[in-house]
Amino acid sequence: MYKESELRNIFNGKRIFIAGFGREGRSSYLLIRKLFPYPSNEITLAIADKNTAIQTDAMLTADRDIALFTGNNYLSHAGEYDVILKSPGIPTFDFNGIAHPENISSQTDIFLQLYANQTIGITGTKGKSTTTNLIYSMMKMVNPNTIMAGNMGLPLFDSIENIDSNTILVLELSSHQLENIHLSPHIGIVLNLFQEHLDHYNSYTDYQMAKLNIGLHQSDNDVFIYCKDNDELDTLVQKTEIKSIVLPYSMNHKLPFGCYLDGNDFKLSPTNTVIYNITSKRYLQGSHNLSNCMAVFLVGHCYGIADDVIATAIANFKGLEHRLEYVTTKNDITFYNDSISTIPEATIAAVEALKDVDTLILGGFDRGIDYTALATFIAQSTIANIAFVGNAGQRIYNLLGSTGQKKNCLLSNNYTMVVNWCFQHTAKGKICLLSPAASSYDMFKNFEERGQVFKQLITNNA
């Protein structure tokens, strides 16, 4: 295992508290037990989870060296431990008055302490997964020894066995993962910042600063890439002392390295001749994805990758499921699944990208996000039919009503009814789009399940 001794030194002699025993917590436990097999007198280990079912987990009951804490007060003993490995789903403020902030760590924090100089980290409110996968595809073309992991459901510790000194690590990082880090990736990218996950933070500012950690702990030889078009992000970066090389990119200005916009086209011109018009070649739709491509281009040049290789990677990338995903054309209606869109800005970007949206499905779990701009956008758009779902849908419906604009609307929490209604009302030759601008947790396990249900109901519709 590459850097095994350094990893052992981080934990050796420590009292370790794993907070949360989901996918990441289980991953942490397995790695620690690989380093310090049971029975071990080198560490003290505890696992805590609100779910009492872990008390009967066969793997844990066989390990008599661990303490288990479950139920509503599962974090109450955290202050007795030296290293707290916090799972991303647990808000940091849950430890207030219980544990010292300096003791709160995470897989991301430990991982970056070892491998930051080999890492490309990508964050942002939206576009993380698409951009991460695109950068991974590009880097894999020039270095087969490239690994992708992180927020998309691949715990960082699961990758450690496959890392060596030549490995390039492409990590999708959420605000929760970045909160407690002490070292930032060699290349840190922030795609955008919008209101999201406010239930996990004391303020929007706390959320923004968690994201910005991807660049705040870099050194002079590292690179920070961000989208200057996002006004809040640009203002925040200008106010913050980032010590690394800063490469801003913008849809409105010529970029370094011969990357520029010609009208609505994104082109690469390493000499005086345009060799690739990426806009016309790429599968990814919308100006938001064009912006993401610019970040990919800058990463490519940081690693000396040729323009034609970057352009080929972008042109061949077909996008990800639930992200402006083409589903099918049925009854002369084209269906798109954009279930990943959980904020207004993402939904607006999706509608603008597709252009022919006649029917839009909105709403879900209400997290208190401001929908005023979305309601105004819809009122002024050519969208004819809107299905509103959940409490968020009800609130958007009310805001739309206050604009005085009349649309053909349905309020329903029954997705079967919603999809049937979409078939009945969407004009032939037009688009029906699921882009909810809201979380899925009121009716579904996650946005993936919501998207799958939507696609299945389309398939089943007679």
pLDDT reported for residue 285? 64
Burial of 394 (0-12, 13-18, 19+ CB in 10 A): middle
DSSP string, 207-245: HHHHHHHHHHT--TTSEEEEETTSHHHHHHHHHS---SE
Q: Do strands 357-363 and 431-434 pair parallel, antiparallel, or not at all (unpaired)?
A: parallel
pLDDT reported for residue 255? 52
Distances (CA, A) of 273 to 41, 267, 281, 284: 66, 10, 17, 24
Distances (CA, A) of 430 to 330, 332, 427: 11, 8, 6
Distances (CA, A) of 275 to 11, 308, 443: 52, 8, 48
Integer Cα distance of 194 and 343 in angstroms: 8
Integer Cα distance of 214 and 437 in angstroms: 26
Residues 6+ apart with CB under 8 A from 320: 129, 130, 133
pLDDT reported for residue 270? 44
Dihedral sign from CA coordinates of 56, 104, 100, 39? positive
pTM above threshold 0.85: no
* H or E element that contains 172: strand 168-172
Cβ contact 416:388 at 8 Å: no
Residue type, 112: L
Structure tokens at 424: 């009945």
The rounded radius of gyration (Å) of the Cα atoms in the chain is 23
What is the CATH code for 109-316? 3.40.1190.10
* Average pLDDT of adjacent 10-residue blocks, the chain of 462 residues: 94 97 95 93 96 92 92 96 94 93 96 98 91 94 96 91 97 94 97 74 83 95 92 91 88 54 50 44 65 88 86 80 88 94 90 91 94 95 97 96 92 97 97 96 94 96 80
Termini Cα distance of the chain: 55
Integer Cα distance of 331 and 387 in angstroms: 19
Integer Cα distance of 325 and 327 in angstroms: 6
Distances (CA, A) of 290 to 6, 104, 265, 269, 398: 40, 37, 9, 16, 33
Integer Cα distance of 371 and 284 in angstroms: 26
Structure tokens at 362: 């909105």
At the top level of CATH, the class of 325-460 is alpha beta
Return the number of other C-beta atoms located less than 10 Å from residue 277's C-beta: 15
pLDDT reported for residue 90? 92
* H or E element that contains 48: strand 44-49
The full set of domain ranges for the chain reads 4-105, 109-316, 325-460
Q: Which CATH number fits domain 4-105: 3.40.50.720, 3.60.15.10, 3.40.228.10, 3.40.630.30?
A: 3.40.50.720
